[in-house]
Structure 1
Amino acid sequence: MPTKLSDFRPIVVLSVIYRLFSSIINKQFMNVLEEANLIHTAQRGFMKKGSTLEHLISLRTALAYKYQHKQEVFAMALDIKNAYGSVIHKRFISILKKHGFHSSVINLLTSMISNSVMKVLVNGFLSSPFDANVGVPQGDPSSPAWFNLYINSSTNIQEKLKGVQIFNITILLLLYADDIILIANTKIEMNSSLKSLGCELKKIGLALASKKCKLLAITAKAKLSKALVTIGQDIIATSSSIEYLGGICTFKNYFSWSSDNPINKISNQLASTKTSNLYLNSITTTLMSKIISLPRYACSFNGINKNSLDKADIMVANFVRKAIGLDYIIKISHF
């Protein structure tokens, strides 16, 4: 459980009308991004032509290939400090202009992300209103697309760095929104990649949360490496496992892959969810599905079998149906 204020991420509860409006805008915006190829192929988060499965397979293949060929390899799972909450509005608008978006589109998106007034609800107490002058709200249907375009410049490192060559394909950077994997052949290459990525993120006001970043480094002799890498002033030692998109890669003289016990996690999540805070028009319903992340479990390294997936789907559906009173509505309609 989070213990520090910085560990919490606010979820914005929006009106049904705005969410519907934003969903319509997002659909059109995503079409433009994909048709114009404005988002680098390294980014698979919330994209129509990508999924968690592609990145998980890429990561697994790169590590397995290096291991089998007795070659050194470094893989690092990276975390960005308050990623969505650190988006600078003026910089985002400048990115839209750079890509040639029409002024009417820019004005519309500016009105959606700027001049917002919010309140915070904590333990039943509502704060005074304040202006949200930075960040894109988690809970807005358009935020993932906005963030993908905002962070896209980080892929510039692809042009400067070597990466890992697997079957004539270069694997260096894997992005799923703000979930990042860096892969390198050596300690020197990894440090160079971290430095380059850090510089690109700094240009747009983002930074890596070094304490949440994990390194998995394997020597040519198929042993855990003792090599150290640096993020700013922080030194990162290798660990025996890294997690990415619901999958866990563990190394104990060989690689093993697993998903992180989804059925138990889902049961615990549902047990701790307050039904009094769950409404049909609340972001809580969306939030719960994101936390549980059923698609990620289905695509994780070993995945989960179909029976477990069906069981999880039924658990969530039954909980939501009862919490928002659909059982009662159905009984009345039958009467």
Structure 2
Amino acid sequence: MGKSAPGPDGISPRVMNKRKTERTTAFLNLILTLETIPDHLNLARVLFIPKSETPQGSGDYRPISITSVVVRCLHSILAKRWITVVPRLHSQLAFLKRDGCFEGVVSVHTILREARLATHNLTMCSIDISKAFDSLSHDTIKRMAEAYGAPKALVSYISNCYKSLKAIVHNNIVKVGRGVRQGDPLSPLLFIMCMDEVTRLTTREHGTKLGSQMVDSVLFADDMMIFADTTVGMQHKLDMLSAGLQQAGLSTNVQKSRSLTVAANGKLKTVCVVPHTYKIGGVSLDPINVTDKFKYLGIWFSHPGITKQPISTMADSLLNEITNAPLTPVQRLTILRQYALPKLQYVCQVGAIGKTDLQKVDVSIRKSVRQWLGLPHDTANTYFHARDGGIGIEPLYPLAEIRRSQRLRRLNTRNCSLLQAVRQSEAYKLFEGKSIG
């Protein structure tokens, strides 16, 4: 359980690890045999984490539930065993042992580029679900547990567990009537099962052709990209999706949802962006026009696919925040290594960024590090691991290119119908052959 926080019962991972394994195993098996969980263990302490620097209302906070370490241990075991026998999830990339963000970004980019290269019609809707984790119906969770192979005893345990959910909110105990607990190891698996079922309710007849296959959706948890080849087909899919979401107790956040329509001219071998309006739940979606940009999984897109990323602006913002924060030099280096650099590396490996831009960012990073540590400007900037006496600050270039190649190799070997379709397309071959430079 690592260094995770104790739940309301006060039992820490350290205390639990001191118990004999046989006793812990017997207690967990007893819970499963009784198909219920003691009330004091089913109580969670809820913390509200702000989503932005200036939260204005309840929607700007993310509720994180801290349950008992005993429950987390049991649910972690159940999740790890259950995921090995779950049938393949349709187009779902999140919470699985795969490079989901990279695969999702590459898939959407390939679909957008292929529409231009093959000159065919494409309609795409980016659907945002409002408070998805907090709104999911408990009846839907039980139904999906049955549908995805859980034995009757486990279905009964999950049902009883959610029936008696309670949480401590500002020292008040409240009963929880909907949603999955963010912070519980079993919640991600239950959630993606429910989202997979919602997309299966939409018709598969309408999609976009990629290679020799049809792709109708790409999902990353509750971030949904829906595709069709006609405007009528897309509207039909949105109507069915709205009904499926309502059945699961979910609703769309129309303010954060967008649509894109690309019309092809076969004779001229060209495509153009059409400002067509679609509706979901009776509310219109804002169309993406030819000059608009939109963000998907942390990467900026425009209608032809991945666009140039503002890597210099991102790096300057991160470095300024770290510099201005009241931190020690060691704390600044830790944040840089564990948070800022991985974030920049991800954008560099996926986004359209040139070698010169990466080298400029590397210079800015090393300049900031010298400032934090009070080092002279002529200090050597050769990369050394901390174990060899260095400070472990990795350069963006050429590591971004090396790791991009590694991620592409993993994508090329993954057995997945979505990625098989992506790999067959001409657009992916061009993306794969493009290097940072």
With the length of structure 2 as denominator, give the TM-score of the two structures: 0.57
Measured after TM superposition, the shift of residue 11 of structure 1 is 1.5
The answer as to whether partners of 1:297 and 1:304 remain within 8 angstroms in 2 is no
Partner of 1:139: 183
Q: CA deviation at 1:147?
A: 0.3
In the alignment, what sits opposite 1:174?
A: 218
Query: CA–CA distance in 2 between the matches of 1:207 and 1:16?
Result: 32
Give per-residue Cα distances to partners, 1:56-87, cap 9 Å, x unaligned.
22211111111123333222211111111112
Partner SS for 1:9: strand
Question: 1:165-244 to 2 correspondence within 5 Å?
Answer: 165-220=209-264, 221-239=270-288, 240-244=292-296
Size of the aligned set, in residue pairs, is 290
1:106-117 equivalent positions in 2, closer than 5 A? 106-117=155-166
Among 304, 307, 312, the alignment partner of 1:257 is 307
Distance (whole Å) between structure 2 residues aligned to residue 131 and residue 295 of structure 1:
42
Residue 133 of structure 2, aligned match among 84, 87, 109: 84
- Give the match's secondary structure for 2:241: helix
Q: String of CA shifts for 1:23-78, please: whole Å, max 9, x gaps.
A: 22221122222xxx1x4231111122562222222211111111123333222211
2:278 aligns to what SS in structure 1?
A: strand
Unpaired stretches in structure 2, ≥5 consecutive residues: 1-51, 265-269, 328-334, 370-437
Instruction: Answer yes or no: is the 8 Å Cα contact 1:227–1:237 preserved in 2.
Output: no
One-letter code of the match for 1:67? R
2:234 is paired with a residue whose SS is: helix
Aligned-partner residue type, residue 241 of structure 1:
K
The answer to whether the Cα contact below 8 Å between 2:138 and 2:177 also exists between their aligned partners in 1 is yes
Q: Deviations over 1:243-283 (max 9, x none)?
A: 211111124xx5542456454565578789999xxxxxxxx
Structure 1 contact 198–207 (Cα < 8 Å) conserved: yes
Are the equivalent residues in 2 in contact too, given 1:58–1:171 (CA < 8 A)?
no
User: Which residue of the partner structure matches residue 377 of structure 2?
Assistant: none
The residue type paired with residue 66 of structure 2 is V
Give the Cα–Cα distance (whole angstroms) in 2 for the partners of residues 263 and 245 of structure 1. Answer: 18
For residues 1-335 of structure 1, the aligned pairs below 5 Å read 1=52, 2-33=55-86, 37=87, 39-49=88-98, 51-120=100-169, 126-157=170-201, 159-220=203-264, 221-239=270-288, 240-251=292-303, 255-259=305-309, 261=311, 263=315, 297=347, 300-302=350-352
Shift of 1:178: 0.8
Q: 1:304 to 1:9 in 2, by over 3 A?
A: farther
Q: From the superposition, tell whether residues 297 and 205 of structure 1 become closer, same or farther in structure 2 (CA, over 3 Å).
A: same
Give the AA of the match of 1:6.
G
Structure with higher Rg: it is 2
> Which blocks of at least 5 consecutive residues in structure 1 are unaligned?
121-125, 276-284, 316-335
User: 1:298, CA displacement in angstroms?
Assistant: 6.4
Letter aligned with residue 166 of structure 1: L
Distance 2:344 2:119 in 1: 35
CA contact (8 A) 2:109 2:305 kept: no
Q: 1:236 to 1:98 in 2, by over 3 A?
A: closer
Q: How much does 1:194 deviate? A: 1.1
With over 3 angstroms needed to count, the CA separation of the structure-2 counterparts of 1:228 and 1:28, relative to structure 1, is same
The 8 Å contact of residues 119 and 129 in structure 1, kept in 2 or not, is answered as yes
Distance 2:326 2:195 in 1: 34
Mapped contact 2:108–2:305 kept (Cα < 8 A): no
- How far 1:303 sits from its partner (Å)? 7.7
Structure-2 separation of matches of 1:13 and 1:201 = 27
Residues 81, 190 of structure 1: alpha-carbon distance in 2 compared, 3 angstrom cutoff? same
Give the percent of matched residue pairs that are identical in Structure 1 and Structure 2: 21
